[in-house]
Amino acid sequence: MGALLLLIFTNNLNAQKQRFQAANLLFEPRVNYGFLIAHHIEMEIYNSHFPSFEFSIARATYGKQQWEALYNYPVTGLTYWTAWLGNSPDLGQAHAIFPFIRFPWIKSNNTELSFRLGAGVAYLTKYFDRLDNYKYNAIGSHLNAAINLMVEYRWKPLNYLQLSAGVQLMHFSNGSTKTPNFGLNVPSLSGGVAFRINKENSYIRRRARPDLTMFEFDGKKFLEMKIGTTFAIKQIGDIDGARYSVYAGFLSATKNIGYKHKLGLCFDLSWDGSDALLVNKTDPEPYKQSALTKPGFSAAYELVLARMSFAFNLGFYVGGKDKSEGLTYYKAGINYLITKNLFANLTLKTHYARADFVGLGLGYRFRWIYY
């Protein structure tokens, strides 16, 4: 009996060790040094330079799935980022947690030039308050979205060690769920040391493509139709403090351009509860509530990573009574396939450089295969 328990215990340890090695884990502390961009004149009083710190746990892909080889074996992971935002007590401290993916642009055995994209959530200890912090009108809430962009160069002097240097941008915004919402932009120089405690997995370089999952493109010619909805809550200013609901829907048709890209067209339809307030300020004439609905058309692009994709749209309105935002709009989002055809979406809509709303939604896709 004792020998059996010892055998089971040993097998479990070996299995755990194999799983840990298969995870291809990297651990990386990083130091950044940057400043707040004064993109509004009210922000100029906070000009200062300050350090920020981060720690990442990452997994280096090695070709287990088709998309990993298509993107030259990127790295995925999770990062914790923190900083005191300058010298002013108005700004406080920022804490952010975001998953990321790092795409290699140029890669050799010992060097790599890559781009990192991260998106997550942030907690800011200070925000705008009419009485206690009235000068700080960049952020109106504790909770915010965190977006991280970085270009970096990596050098691997040892199998278990990587040194990196780069330039990154950290962005905080609540998507106008609570105003003011100028947002915070923190560019910085960055340096890090990454290490692994197990040997790196060798790349799987198959002549034939690896087995496809049900989420991956199989090379067949088809048009993909998507229908989806998005819901958001927003504020438009500090006048009344009210929050307004936003309902949006879309119908898109896209076609795969290779295994990584999709191009197409999209019809958008949105209704924003705050538009009535804006219209009443400029046009006192009565109108039907349906006149607040905004139809629009947009060019659509998707960057596909198996069950997840990054979506970008550039469009123009063809109706709607509210004209205060202009005729053009932009959408950026993440789509995630829950099942083969049902997907969830996180969408940011903007007008020029001003965030309109951040919304969540669900959708369904249909495929029309042709040869």
Question: pLDDT digits over 107-161, tens only?
Answer: 998 999 999 999 999 999 988 877 787 777 778 889 999 999 999 999 999 989 9
Lowest mean pLDDT among 17-21, 95-99, 103-107: 17-21
- For residues 52-75, give the mean pLDDT: 91
Share of the chain above pLDDT 70, in %: 88
Which one is predicted more confidently, 171 or 369?
A: 171
Predicted confidence at residue 343, as pLDDT, reads 97
pLDDT band at 186 (very low <50, low <70, confident <90, very high): very high
Predicted confidence at residue 13, as pLDDT, reads 42
- Residue-range domain boundaries for the chain: 22-195, 222-369
Lowest mean pLDDT among 121-130, 306-315, 362-371: 362-371
Which one is predicted more confidently, 17 or 354?
A: 354
Q: Which fold has domain 222-369?
A: Porin (2.40.160)
d(CA 239, CA 244): 13
- For residues 197-212, give the mean pLDDT: 71
Query: 143-158 and 111-124 as β-strands: parallel, antiparallel, unpaired?
Result: antiparallel
Using CA atoms in the order 324, 325, 327, 332, what is the torsion angle rounded to 10 degrees? Answer: -160
Which one is predicted more confidently, 352 or 100?
A: 100
Predicted confidence at residue 60, as pLDDT, reads 92
**Strand (E) or helix (H) holding 322:** none
Indicate if the alpha-carbon torsion angle 130, 136, 138, 143 is positive or negative.
negative
Q: Does domain 22-195 have CATH number 2.40.160.20?
A: yes
- For residues 247-252, give the mean pLDDT: 96
- For residues 195-224, give the mean pLDDT: 73
pLDDT band at 232 (very low <50, low <70, confident <90, very high): very high
Nearest to 189, CA basis, from 206, 208, 204, 169: 169
Share of the chain above pLDDT 90, in %: 51
- For residues 292-316, give the mean pLDDT: 94
d(CA 174, CA 134): 18
**Other beta carbons less than 10 A from residue 235's beta carbon:** 22
Which one is predicted more confidently, 360 or 218?
A: 360
pLDDT band at 226 (very low <50, low <70, confident <90, very high): very high
d(CA 161, CA 118): 23
pTM: 0.82
Indicate if the alpha-carbon torsion angle 42, 46, 51, 55 is positive or negative.
negative
Predicted confidence at residue 370, as pLDDT, reads 62
Q: Is the pLDDT of residue 171 over 50?
A: yes
Predicted confidence at residue 26, as pLDDT, reads 94
- For residues 13-42, give the mean pLDDT: 73
Say yes or no: do domains 22-195 and 222-369 share a fold.
yes
- For residues 361-369, give the mean pLDDT: 90
Which SS3 state, helix, strand or coil, does residue 103 take?
strand
Predicted confidence at residue 182, as pLDDT, reads 80
Predicted confidence at residue 219, as pLDDT, reads 67
Q: Is the pLDDT of residue 297 over 50?
A: yes
